[in-house]
Amino acid sequence: MFAKNCWYVVAHAHEIDDALFARTLLNQAVILWRTTGGRVVALEDRCPHRLVPLSTGRTVNGQVECGYHGLRFDADGACAFVPGQSKVPKAARVKTYPVAERHALIWIWMGVADLADENLIPDLHWLDAPGWQATTGYLHFNCDYRLINDNLLDLSHETYIHKHTIGNDAVADSPAVTEVIGNRVVRVHREMPNIEPPPLFAQAQGNNGRINRWQIAIYMAPGFNMTEVGFHPVGTDRTTNHLMMRPIHIITPETEHSSHYIWGLARNFRLDDDGLNDGMFSSVTHTFEEDREILELQDQRLKAENMPNIPQSAVKTDKGPVAGRRLLEEMIRGETDDPTQCAVPIPLADDQQVTMPFTQAAQ
Amino acid sequence: MFAKNCWYVVAHAHEIDDALFARTLLNQAVILWRTTGGRVVALEDRCPHRLVPLSTGRTVNGQVECGYHGLRFDADGACAFVPGQSKVPKAARVKTYPVAERHALIWIWMGVADLADENLIPDLHWLDAPGWQATTGYLHFNCDYRLINDNLLDLSHETYIHKHTIGNDAVADSPAVTEVIGNRVVRVHREMPNIEPPPLFAQAQGNNGRINRWQIAIYMAPGFNMTEVGFHPVGTDRTTNHLMMRPIHIITPETEHSSHYIWGLARNFRLDDDGLNDGMFSSVTHTFEEDREILELQDQRLKAENMPNIPQSAVKTDKGPVAGRRLLEEMIRGETDDPTQCAVPIPLADDQQVTMPFTQAAQ
Amino acid sequence: MFAKNCWYVVAHAHEIDDALFARTLLNQAVILWRTTGGRVVALEDRCPHRLVPLSTGRTVNGQVECGYHGLRFDADGACAFVPGQSKVPKAARVKTYPVAERHALIWIWMGVADLADENLIPDLHWLDAPGWQATTGYLHFNCDYRLINDNLLDLSHETYIHKHTIGNDAVADSPAVTEVIGNRVVRVHREMPNIEPPPLFAQAQGNNGRINRWQIAIYMAPGFNMTEVGFHPVGTDRTTNHLMMRPIHIITPETEHSSHYIWGLARNFRLDDDGLNDGMFSSVTHTFEEDREILELQDQRLKAENMPNIPQSAVKTDKGPVAGRRLLEEMIRGETDDPTQCAVPIPLADDQQVTMPFTQAAQ
């Protein structure tokens, strides 16, 4: 049910320091910490002595010490010290996981360790590249990670779930163009010309004047989502007058029915405005919690019905989520058929050009 | 385990208005609301698109709008609107349930819809007939509905569970006569001549003078109970001096181990005394919560023992509950053998005559 | 999984009076109370009528009355009274358990009743013998009882779990000698000569002077543990200058994954110092709750892995717990092979002599 041979995000980089950080990913309990050199390492959160979580303990000189009997393990998972004895048992090893740090994120490889190539890390440079500023956060959702991807690929839900902030009728009413890129990315582009601004957009431009709005939902399997969100006042030139943001939504499975939602809202304007960060943090948190409420209910119902396929009755806006699920299934099938197969990331967006209205007829 | 071809009560009629009302009955999640014409309708609480509960949404012009992507369904369960598209998918249908409104109650038919005949609705006119006034309420019990029926058919428990209000030794000490009426009703009649009044009875008559008390527990399968409760001061004429009430206890299964307890305490005196309603509401709620506590414990133990038959050791007062269970089982077996079979209700009590002491020897 | 033909402790004797006391032991729900003569009796907590817990009721004249319909049962489990009828059903019997009162504890025999011989009660006289004073308490642990025994047989954990009170590096660093006595007892003796006193020891002696400390962990299957804890200032004579205590830890299984921890901290000094009792009560409770936290985590992980054997990788200090488990398994196998077999207790310690440093090389 999970793709394994790919990098997953564990946490924002600033969350990991020399103390133990515990998180379950793809049903596996893991601890992470920074060694004395600052490198992030990951071990299974399980002492091979009496199976107590190592996260009961602490780090000592860059090693982890179990909280029960004090056995220590180094960054390679080898037992380094047993209290009261000079020899350490060689069999007492802890499983390690390849880890990388990039784009202000900590990445982990849960599949075949030999295949862990840092060139396979998706490009999410908006979280730390010069010229960009990202407000970041974390939420825990008690639902299947795929439901969150589905939700992000059909933004018509904004009209209903987020009607007090970023949604109004224009979102659901406007057609979207769905495109599959390579074997890993789906892109759903919606233009909303000459519409009333939803509440948060009115607030952003300081008035209720009509806007040309666009949004692009981009999904890369298994759980990377970026939503390009842009608008400009009606009658102005999009290239010079738009305001644009790129929320990054990283969905990492915790278990079959719970997920980590690691997010960063990247912008390329007012980079040093800390007050703006604070406002965005609470808006985004509030908005994603609206999603959480409905997705957790959906998960409970699907579980009760033994996980039937969705949608059961398809509508036009299902095109994106259905395509996304297909890519994810192919990715999982690919590594099932060939355990050495790893999916290659695809660039999600181009920083050099402003998104323009599509000319082709909306599908 | 549940009878299906019969009317169940969902709620008091005043609880349903044009907003969505969600309740699970016989393991099926249902929503109800009043259409613009005031008619109550019921659909399965499940959007056929992505299986989110429709109760996440709201009603719009007498239709229900899903809270996720805004699909709308009419009172017949047909999809009436999909945002952003002109055609609606015919396959997107929601299951409907026959509904009726009678006796200030909303009734639903969970079985074969074609068989839903309003003539099969039990007569509970005491809840809204002229000359009667009913204090009403609702409680949720985490137990098998049959345990509540059992409890109401053996009122000797009042001596133990309700000793501070309606029970005293006289209840358990007095013999009862059990009668089976037709294939659906059990009636247990107990006379308690010349006894001390239990606390609430003393309060009702304003003194501690001895009373002649009677009670009749009437059960109609699957979950309709009426308890006729009456008394008059010793030495007075029953016909002219009695005080009588008819608590109606409607037990509708939610799941195998949880139940809706929809009640109305009907009286034919002091009809306009609102203060009396308030007092009765809190007395009855308190009393039924005493039952709830013990029945929920009983359910947990029975579940832990894999639902053995009860009673394991029978006593005299088990006659009523045992007869009631037998009728319920016959009703369920009847519709299993013949899926078109529906049980016909039987009148529970006659308003024209006052219950008199039985002359036959108590069994 | 549980030994049955042996005495288990239910509670401290002062906890049982003429009111009902309910506790589950080895998955069996039991009630206990004192009859009018003061004798403690135990019945299954299950009314044979409708399977409601008898603990819903109360005692009446030394009998138990069910809280639902008032059936009464005597100390032999026979039905003594049914309300409203003169004959009682002979079949309505409640299972009884042999009970004994000794060492200020209430003991119960959950196995074959005919084998319940009070000579088989372990000697825990420190809880009420002249010359001893015991501070006592009770804790509930949500874990397999064997994990608590394991914990008490490898006290090197004090260094890690109890570092703020009774542990310091000296505990885990010092070697221990493990000895098996007969077929039921394991004894782990550790000497810690010339060490800094851990916080509570420094407090006990009123200064930070170095001490000679010793501890003996004694385990008798299935769940009796005594920890002899002693020390004396370096340079003084152990026989005349030591301070010694004997914490008794009685671990009785409630279910496979929950346990009763009935404890008494026995001392043979300052017998009448009630303030000392209070201080010890809170220190011990705090310390055992530190154990509880880690053992409950361990239990969750073992359960998730379907109860693998522990230790998976053994270290030196596992010698005690491994020996303890072996004795327990032999005890259980013994009574499986021969259902009349009962394990005979072995004395845990000798009050006549002070523990001296061992001369043999520590293993």
How many Å apart are CA A32 and CA A212, to the nearest integer?
45
Residue C54 falls inside a structural domain: yes
Q: Report residue C220 as tokens.
A: 């008798």
Amino acid sitting at position B72: R
Instruction: Give the confidence band of C323 by pLDDT, cuts at 50, 70, 90.
Output: very high
Query: Is B347 a domain residue?
Result: no
Region class of A80: left (phi > 0), else alpha (psi between -120 and 50), else beta: alpha
Shared domain for C184 and C315, answered yes or no, is: yes
Contact A312 B49 (CB under 8 A): yes
Q: For residue C35, give the CATH number of its domain.
A: 2.102.10.10
Domain that holds residue C114: 7-119
Residue A67 CA, chain-centre distance (Å), reads 32
- Distance of residue B51 Cα from the nearest chain A Cα, in angstroms: 6
- Which residues of chain B lie closer than 8 angstroms to A174, CB-CB? 84
User: For residue B29, what is the nearest residue in chain A, using CA coordinates?
Assistant: A301
Q: What is the C-alpha separation between A49 and A63, in angstroms, rounded?
A: 16
Is there a domain that residue A112 lies in?
yes
Cβ-Cβ contacts under 8 Å for C251 (sequence gap 6 or more): C145, C148, C149, C223, C224, C225, C259, C260, C261, C262
The residue type found at A61 is N
What are the tens digits of pLDDT across the range C226-284? 999 999 999 999 999 999 999 999 999 999 999 999 999 999 999 999 888 999 999 99
**A81-112 tens-digit pLDDT:** 999 999 999 999 999 999 999 999 999 999 99
B239 with B292, same domain? yes
**Touching B: which chains, 3+ CB pairs < 8 A?**
A, C
SS (H, E, C) chain B: CCCCCCEEEEEEHHHCCCCCEEEEECCEEEEEEECCCCCEEEEECCCCCCCCCHHHCEEECCEEECCCCCCEECCCCEEEEECCECCCCCCCECCEECEEEECCEEEEECCCHHHCCHHHCCCCHHHCCCCCEEEEEEEEECCCHHHHHHHHHCHHHHHHHCCCCCCCHHHHHCCEEEEEECCCEEEEEEEEEEECCCHHHHHHHCCCCCEEEEEEEEEECCCEEEEEEEEEECCCCHHHHCEEEEEEEEEEEEECCEEEEEEEEEECCCCCCHHHHHHHHHHHHHHHHHHHHHHHHHHHHHHHCCCCCCCCCCCHHHHHHHHHHHHHHHHHHHHHHCCCCCCCCCCCCCCCCCCCCCCCCCC
Give the contacts of A3 (CB within 8 A, at least 6 positions apart): A111, A221, A222, A328, A331, A332, A335, A343
Average of per-residue pLDDT across B75-90? 96
Query: What residues pair up with C187 in beta bridges, in sequence order?
Result: C179, C218
Selection from B73, B71, B355, B58 nearest residue B232 by Cα: B355
Contact C48 B312 (CB under 8 A): yes
Tell me what the mean pLDDT of segment B218-231 comes to.
Answer: 97
Give me the sign of the Cα torsion angle A82, A84, A86, A89. Answer: negative
Q: What is the pLDDT of residue C362?
A: 41
Alpha-carbon distance of A52 to A75, in angstroms, equals 18
Residue A79 has which token pair? 């037992």
For residue A70, the model assigns a pLDDT of: 97
Strand C133-141 relative to strand C21-25, pairing: unpaired
Quick one: C87 and C144 in the same domain?
no
The tally of domains found in chain B comes to: 2
Residue type, B176: A
Same domain membership, residue B244 and residue B131? yes
Residue C361: band (very low, low, confident or very high) from pLDDT cuts 50, 70, 90: very low
- Which chain C residue lies closest to A87 (C-alpha atoms)? C315
The SS3 call for residue A19 is: coil
Q: Considering CB atoms only, which of B174, B310, B315 is closest to C89? A: B315
Average pLDDT over residues A313-320: 96
**Tokens 């504890």, located at residue:** C105
- When CB atoms are compared, the residue of B161, B305, B316 closest to C51 is B305
Measured between beta carbons, the chain C residues lying within 8 angstroms of B302 are: 51
What tokens does B239 get? 């016909």
- State whether A289 and A269 are in the same domain: yes
- pLDDT tens-digit map of B336-359: 999 999 999 999 999 988 999 876
Is there a single domain that holds both residue A207 and residue A86?
no
The crossing angle, in degrees rounded to 10, of helices C145-153 and C274-304 is 120
- C141: three-class secondary structure by DSSP: strand
Do C148 and C289 have their domain in common?
yes
Q: How far is A89 from chain C (nearest CA, A)?
A: 7
- Distance, in Å, from the CA atom of B95 to the CA atom of B115, rounded to the nearest integer, reads 16
Residue B361 clears pLDDT 80, i.e. is over it: no
Short-list C38, C45, C20, C21, CA closest to C97: C45
Residue C224 clears pLDDT 90, i.e. is over it: yes
Asked whether the predicted pLDDT for residue C328 surpasses 60, the reply is yes
Do the Cβ atoms of B246 and B218 come closer than 8 Å?
A: no
Q: Pick from A119, A152, A175: which residue ends a domain? A: A119
The pLDDT of A244-256, averaged and rounded, is 97
CB contacts < 8 A (A, B): 77
pLDDT of A49 higher than 80: yes
**Mean pLDDT throughout C57-74?**
98
Task: Identify whether residues A233 and A326 lie together within a single domain.
Answer: yes
B250 and B316 within one domain? yes
Please state the rounded mean pLDDT for residues B188-212: 93
C296 shares a domain with C221: yes
pLDDT value of position C26: 98
Q: How far is A111 from chain C (nearest CA, A)?
A: 20
The whole-chain average pLDDT of chain C stands at 95
Bond prior to C311 in cis (omega within 30° of 0): yes
* Averaged pLDDT, C278-294: 96
The mean pLDDT of C139-164, rounded to a whole number, is 97
Are residues A139 and A115 located together in one domain of the fold?
Answer: no
pLDDT of residue C226: 98
Q: What percent of chain C has pLDDT over 70?
A: 99
Question: Among C161, C169, C308, whose Cβ lies nearest the Cβ of A68?
Answer: C161
Residue of chain A minimizing CA distance to C296? A52
Mean pLDDT within C111-117: 97
State the burial class of residue C137 (Cβ atoms within 10 Å of its Cβ: 0-12, 13-18, 19+). Answer: middle
Q: Are residues A156 and A202 in the same domain?
A: yes
- Note whether C316 contacts A85, CB cutoff 8 Å: yes
More confident residue, A289 or B359: A289
Q: Tally Cβ neighbours within 10 Å of residue C272.
A: 7
CA distance B72 to chain A (A): 12
**B74 phi, psi to nearest 5 deg:** -90, 180
State how far residue C41 is from chain B, nearest Cα, in angstroms: 22
CA C21, C24, C29, C34 dihedral sign is negative
User: Looking at residue A359, what is its pLDDT?
Assistant: 62
Contacts of C302 in chain A (CB under 8 A): 51
Q: Smallest Cα–Cα separation from A224: which of A347, A334, A102?
A: A347
Q: Of C175, C298, C316, which has the smallest distance from its Cβ to A50's Cβ?
A: C298
CB atoms B294 and C46 under 8 Å: no
* Residues from chain A contacting residue B53 (CB–CB below 8 Å): 297, 301
SS3 state at C324: helix
* Domain closes at, from C119, C147, C174: C119
Interface of B with A (CB under 8 A): 46, 48-53, 56-57, 65-71, 79, 82-85, 89, 91-92
Q: Are A29 and A44 in contact (CB under 8 A)?
A: yes
Given a contact as 3+ CB pairs under 8 Å, which chains touch A? Answer: B, C
Q: Are C92 and B159 a contacting pair at CB < 8 A?
A: no
Q: Is residue A45 part of a domain?
A: yes
pLDDT at A161: 96
Residue C111 banded pLDDT, cuts 50, 70, 90: very high
In a domain, A356, yes or no: no
Judge whether C342 lies within some domain.
no
Check pLDDT > 90 for residue B315: yes
- Flag whether the pTM goes above 0.80: yes
Q: What is the CATH number of the domain that holds B329?
A: 3.90.380.10
Boundary residue ending a domain (B94, B119, B144): B119
Amino acid (1-letter code) at residue A239? T
* Residue B344 maps to a domain: no
Q: Which one-letter DSSP state was computed for residue A230? A: E
Is the CB of A68 less than 8 angstroms away from the CB of C302?
no
Cβ-defined contact of B311 to C50 (cutoff 8 Å) = yes
User: Are C308 and C302 spatial neighbours (Cβ–Cβ below 8 Å)?
Assistant: yes
Alpha-carbon span A110 to B176, nearest angstrom: 70
Size of interface B-C (CB pairs under 8 A): 78
Mutate to test the interface with B, among C45, C69, C71, C81 (most CBs of B within 10 A): C69
Peptide bond into A222 cis (omega under 30): yes
What ipTM was predicted for this assembly?
0.94
pLDDT at A363 over 50: no
| Confidence band, pLDDT 50/70/90 cuts, at residue A360 | very low
For residue A212, which amino acid is it?
N
A203 band by pLDDT with thresholds 50, 70 and 90: confident
Distance from CA of B298 to the nearest CA of A (A): 26
Q: Which amino acid is at B24?
A: T
- State residue A93's pLDDT score: 96
Q: Is residue B342 part of a domain?
A: no
CA-based angle C67:C68:C72, to the nearest 5? 65
Do A160 and B46 make contact, defined as CB atoms within 8 angstroms? Answer: no
